Amino acid sequence: MYKTHTCGELRAAHASQQVTLAGWVHRRRDHGGVIFLDLRDRYGIVQVTVNPNLSRETLEAVSNVRMEWVLQITGTVQKRPAGMENPKMETGEVEIIAGSIEVLNPAKTLPFMVSGENDLPDENTRLRYRYLDLRRDRMTRNLILRHKVVKFMRDFLDQEGFIEVETPILFKATPEGARDYLVPSRIYPGQFYALPQSPQQLKQLLMVAGLDRYFQIARCFRDEDLRGDRQPEFTQLDLEMSFVQRDDVLAMVEALYTALIPAVTPHKKLLASPWPKFSHHEVMEKYGTDKPDLRFGMELIDVSDIFAQSDFRVFQSAIEAGGVIKCIVAPGCADYSRKEVDALTESAKGLGAKGLATLAVTAEGLKGTAAKFVKPEEAEAVKSKVGAKEGDLILFAADERAIVNKVLGGLRLIFRDKLELADPDMMAFIWVVDFPMFAWNEEEQKWDAEHHPFTMPQLDDLSKFETNPGDIRSDAYDMVCNGYEMASGSIRIHRSDIQLKVFQLLGLSGEEIEQKFGHMLEAFEYGAPPHGGLAPGIDRLVMLLADEPNIREVIAFPKNQTGRDVMADAPSEVPQKQLKELHIKIA
């Protein structure tokens, strides 16, 4: 080994020991003859003192040393004189009095500093030199946290009798609602493997195989438009269990997360235990979204009944068209300026509203854009129904139910950020259950699976296949935290007759079903156990635990926001010869 100790481990107890360290020069300071070098490795930083009494060669070598050079240093640990300790450094009680110094490798001037959080370049520069970016303490900590999360999951599930099984990356299309990445076959001209959008089919086949409890830290590949915080490949804790019902799966995962969070991030709090469970319908009505942030209230309240006879044109026309009137109460925002309300109105319009009506509850009475259209008795009824106090601002949306929910759900999040209503250390896990099984695709005039086509419809609703597929609920569930969907899962179809019915409703022809999923239907004919599972995203969980704004910060080598690897420059062109081997011509 190049070293006897790590840079982070030395303490007063090591005083007078001779040690050899190896690492990077984090900082260098010259103090009239004495040179201080902070030496860094993954474990920490320690101060090395280079006194002028060393050999000429050593001093000469040190005089050239710059930031990020790689050194091996042998020296003696010395307790720092009283008053000279540095409480900001974990090794701040000691310094190393250098005896010999060897330069293992010099370094060019780095394109950016890795020693602080300030002066970071733009993200593409960080990604172009990701191996330098990862030297930063914060990034190293993120990777360590990620390791701990995954290790905890593995240990926990092992204890619970799960076995980890790897499934193929070169496979067949496994639909999760995205486009597939295809890999051309050299051996079979014109044929392609698909990269799995998830191991969904394979984990179900492992249940047919009798493995009972499976998990995998699985990479998933989805060729989606890159809006928002998405990566073309991402990691899931993929999990499946046999002979279980919905609540068995939820209890297992809830127990895992309830143990995991305090173990890896003791400062994070859980909202409630057991986790609250909401139906899809309930969260849509109360929070306007299927992934609500429960760290704060501000629920959507239906006031349609109060305004049934309203003189206000906007409210009247919404009711006449079969829509609803709902509102949220922004605490202490009654004094918002015209400009602030205009900005909110713009946001509401961006979310699909035609406008935004407001009532401000002030000491001088009601103000706001709806004030002069609302009858006194309506105002009183609203105030008492929503519990608005003096100083509050009530914001109304009146439209079709779906639009109203979306608008107020969106405004709710704007207020969360503006008023800092959500505790950043709170992890508000909830379950959302009873999703609709199918969603009508207006563009293509067909039904889509709301989760994926292997999800079990609720047996009570089976008769609606012929009459009203939109009303069929599924045995699907989502794990939601702080406004993010953290996992999706479901009890699966294990009977080929039901599976066939679902494929048919999704508009697949007999031939397509056979070609795409024949192997699944066939497997179900050979004794498939009832089974179910889910797949929590790992990137997003670590992002939340690390208080990072996006998942790229917790992935070692992510693609940038336009889907490129800017370090290796991928995707890139390939030699003609390779294309030819793959029977491919670029159009």
Q: Which range binds ligand ASP by CB under 6 A, 427-435, 487-495, 496-504, 545-553?
A: 487-495
Question: Which residue's CB is nearer to ligand ASP, number 275 or number 454?
Answer: 454
CA distance 28 to 48: 10
Write the CB contacts of 568 (distance below 8 Å, at least 6 apart in sequence): none
The residue from 167, 204, 488, 499 that contacts ligand ASP (CB under 6 A) is: 488
Question: Which residue's CB is nearer to ligand ASP, number 111 or number 177?
Answer: 177
Contact criterion met (CB below 8 Å) for 298 and 395: no
Q: What's at 68, amino acid-wise?
A: E
For the CB of residue 156, give the shortest distance to ligand ASP in the complex, in Å: 18
Query: 417-442 burial by CB neighbour count: b if 16+ within 10 A, else e?
Result: eeeebbeeebbbbbbbbbbbbbeeee
Q: Identify residues 531-570 at the interface with ligand ASP (CB under 6 A).
A: 533-535
Question: Which residue's CB is nearer to ligand ASP, number 265 or number 490?
Answer: 490
Binding letters toward ligand ASP, positions 75-94, x by CB under 6 A: --------------------
CA–CA distance from 414 to each of 12, 353, 360, 400, 486 (Å)? 50, 15, 18, 21, 21
HEC states along 93-157? CEEEEEEEEEEEECCCCCCCCCCCCCCCCCHHHHHHCHHHHCCCHHHHHHHHHHHHHHHHHHHHH
For the CB of residue 197, give the shortest distance to ligand ASP in the complex, in Å: 7
For the CB of residue 533, give the shortest distance to ligand ASP in the complex, in Å: 5
Q: Is the peptide bond before 529 cis (omega within 30 degrees of 0)?
A: no
CA distance 251 to 260: 14
For the CB of residue 534, give the shortest distance to ligand ASP in the complex, in Å: 5
For the CB of residue 224, give the shortest distance to ligand ASP in the complex, in Å: 13
Phi, psi for residue 14 in degrees, rounded to 5 = -85, 0
Question: Which residue's CB is nearer to ligand ASP, number 28 or number 219?
Answer: 219
Q: State whether residue 385 is helix, strand or coil.
A: helix
Q: What's at 439, amino acid-wise?
A: A
Binding letters toward ligand ASP, positions 100-139, x by CB under 6 A: ----------------------------------------
For strands 429-433 and 277-279, give the pairing. Answer: parallel
Contact criterion met (CB below 8 Å) for 40 and 2: no
Output DSSP code: residue 13: G
For the CB of residue 294, give the shortest distance to ligand ASP in the complex, in Å: 21
Tokens (6 digits) for 445: 């005039």
CA distance 543 to 549: 7
For the CB of residue 489, give the shortest distance to ligand ASP in the complex, in Å: 4
Binding of ligand ASP by 489 (CB under 6 A): yes
Contact criterion met (CB below 8 Å) for 168 and 218: no
Question: Which residue's CB is nearer to ligand ASP, number 215 or number 315?
Answer: 215
For the CB of residue 563, give the shortest distance to ligand ASP in the complex, in Å: 20
CA distance 35 to 32: 8
For the CB of residue 535, give the shortest distance to ligand ASP in the complex, in Å: 4
Question: Which residue's CB is nearer to ligand ASP, number 148 or number 219?
Answer: 219
Question: Which residue's CB is nearer to ligand ASP, number 165 or number 319?
Answer: 165
Question: Which residue's CB is nearer to ligand ASP, number 142 or number 204?
Answer: 204
Question: Which residue's CB is nearer to ligand ASP, number 457 or number 533?
Answer: 533
Contact criterion met (CB below 8 Å) for 491 and 452: no
Q: Which range binds ligand ASP by CB under 6 A, 288-296, 439-447, 467-475, 483-491?
A: 483-491
Write the CB contacts of 34 (distance below 8 Å, at least 6 apart in sequence): 49, 50, 51, 52
For the CB of residue 536, give the shortest distance to ligand ASP in the complex, in Å: 9
301-302 sheet: strands from edge to edge: 301-302, 324-330, 393-399, 357-362, 365-367
For the CB of residue 233, give the shortest distance to ligand ASP in the complex, in Å: 13
Q: Which range binds ligand ASP by CB under 6 A, 224-232, 393-401, 493-501, 527-535?
A: 527-535
Question: Which residue's CB is nearer to ligand ASP, number 200 or number 482?
Answer: 200
Contact criterion met (CB below 8 Å) for 306 and 349: no
Token pair 């990862």 is at which residue? 134
Q: Which range binds ligand ASP by CB under 6 A, 423-431, 501-509, 530-538, 578-586?
A: 530-538
Question: Which residue's CB is nearer to ligand ASP, number 24 or number 215?
Answer: 215
Q: What share of the chain is helix, strand, coil (3-state, %, to 5)?
A: 30, 25, 40
Question: Which residue's CB is nearer to ligand ASP, number 197 or number 482?
Answer: 197
For the CB of residue 271, give the shortest distance to ligand ASP in the complex, in Å: 23
Question: Which residue's CB is nearer to ligand ASP, number 176 or number 285?
Answer: 176
Question: Which residue's CB is nearer to ligand ASP, number 369 or number 488?
Answer: 488
Q: Is 372 left (phi over 0), alpha (psi -120 to 50) or beta?
A: alpha
Q: Identify residues 336-375 at the interface with ligand ASP (CB under 6 A).
A: none
Binding letters toward ligand ASP, positions 276-295, x by CB under 6 A: --------------------
For the CB of residue 301, give the shortest distance to ligand ASP in the complex, in Å: 32
Q: Identify residues 200-219 at the interface with ligand ASP (CB under 6 A).
A: 200
Q: Identify residues 217-246 at the interface with ligand ASP (CB under 6 A).
A: none
Question: Which residue's CB is nearer to ligand ASP, number 177 or number 262?
Answer: 177
Output DSSP code: residue 180: P
476-481 sheet: strands from edge to edge: 163-164, 213-221, 233-242, 531-536, 484-491, 476-481, 429-433, 277-279
Total residues interacting with ligand ASP, rule: CB under 6 A = 9
Tokens (6 digits) for 200: 């969904």
Binding letters toward ligand ASP, positions 170-199, x by CB under 6 A: ------x---------------------x-
Q: State whether residue 344 is helix, strand or coil.
A: helix
The residue from 47, 216, 405, 490 that contacts ligand ASP (CB under 6 A) is: 490
* Residues making contact with ligand ASP (CB under 6 A): 176, 198, 200, 488-490, 533-535
